[in-house]
Amino acid sequence: MEEQAVIRLEELSKSYGPVRAVDRLSFEVRRGELVGFLGPNGAGKTTTLRMLAGLLEPSGGRALVAGFDVWRQPLEAKRRLGYVPDVPVLYEKLSGREFLAFVGELWSVPEAVAGRRARELLELFGLAGQADDPVQSYSRGMRQKLAIAGALLHDPAALVLDEPTIGLDPRSARLLKNVLRDFCRRGGAVLMSTHVLEIAQHLCDRVVILQNGRLLAQGSPEELARGADRSLEDVFIELTGGEEVADLVRLLGEEERG
């Protein structure tokens, strides 16, 4: 039986005047799957994720979460989605605990359930000791972890994360990886953009590579590499920059090692 698609993009497009930032993009993320969303700067990744989160209206096509059209059925779709943008929006005057309580109210999570989930998430992300401090006193990494906790509070079916490891120290980045893998083991679906190709290679079940708003390639890191001596970085550079760029990067790497 084919795994159910939790996230589905169908010919999704976004234009700004004559510029097409996303061009008829189609792919899906299934239950239990963690998909890396890769591409050079300006490829259209953030625009795509914002359309998927219901923050931008598509110029064409559609995005679905758990079968609900994000733009035509926004409440049903968003109830099943946890979204963390590249720059999380938090309320500076609230404490971390108050912020999570606000998120619980926003999604109509029963107060007792929201309180229990907030305590668990604050403990999980190492924020319990600062739970009653104002968010304005948090470091960037702490804010990032609080935003991810907020995205998980209402127990969504899917997570959409835009560069979630930015600002995280190695210990916190490892924690996030474990949290995402556990989320997928419980049947969730994750779409995560990242510029850290090592993370994508070792964490993601599949990757989707975008350039100029168009789908270049998708598949598991192993399928795309097609050889033990090739890394996902090799594939990415060859697809997005051409063989000349790939050769230059390899040459520079050899000079550094020399």
pLDDT in the model for residue 231: 81
The DSSP call for residue 40 is -
Is the pLDDT assigned to residue 255 strictly greater than 60?
no
Is the pLDDT assigned to residue 244 strictly greater than 80?
no
pLDDT exceeding 90 applies to what percent of the chain? 78
At residue 3 the predicted structure's pLDDT band, cuts being 50, 70 and 90, is low
User: How confident is the model over 210-241, as pLDDT tens digits?
Assistant: 999 999 999 998 888 876 567 888 888 888 87
Rounded CA gap, 8 and 198, in Å? Answer: 25
Beta carbons within 8 Å of 32's beta carbon, 6+ residues apart:
3, 184, 185, 187, 188, 189
The DSSP call for residue 93 is T
Rounded CA gap, 15 and 7, in Å? Answer: 22
User: How confident is the model over 35-61, as pLDDT tens digits?
Assistant: 999 999 899 999 999 999 999 999 999
At residue 153 the predicted structure's pLDDT band, cuts being 50, 70 and 90, is very high
pLDDT in the model for residue 242: 54
Determine how β-strand 34-38 pairs with β-strand 206-211. parallel
Cβ count near 168 (within 10 Å): 18
Mean pLDDT for all residues in the chain: 90
pLDDT in the model for residue 1: 31
User: How confident is the model over 103-133, as pLDDT tens digits?
Assistant: 999 999 999 999 999 999 999 999 999 999 9
Average pLDDT for 168-175: 92
pLDDT in the model for residue 5: 94
Instruction: Please provide the size of the chain in residues.
Output: 258
Rounded CA gap, 42 and 210, in Å? Answer: 10
CA distances from 61 to 70, 142, 231 (A): 11, 36, 33
Rounded CA gap, 129 and 139, in Å? Answer: 14
pLDDT in the model for residue 134: 97
pLDDT exceeding 70 applies to what percent of the chain? 91
User: How confident is the model over 56-103, as pLDDT tens digits?
Assistant: 999 999 999 999 999 999 999 999 999 999 988 899 999 999 999 999
At residue 257 the predicted structure's pLDDT band, cuts being 50, 70 and 90, is very low
Q: pTM for this structure?
A: 0.88
Rounded CA gap, 78 and 75, in Å? Answer: 5
Rounded CA gap, 187 and 202, in Å? Answer: 20
The DSSP call for residue 73 is S
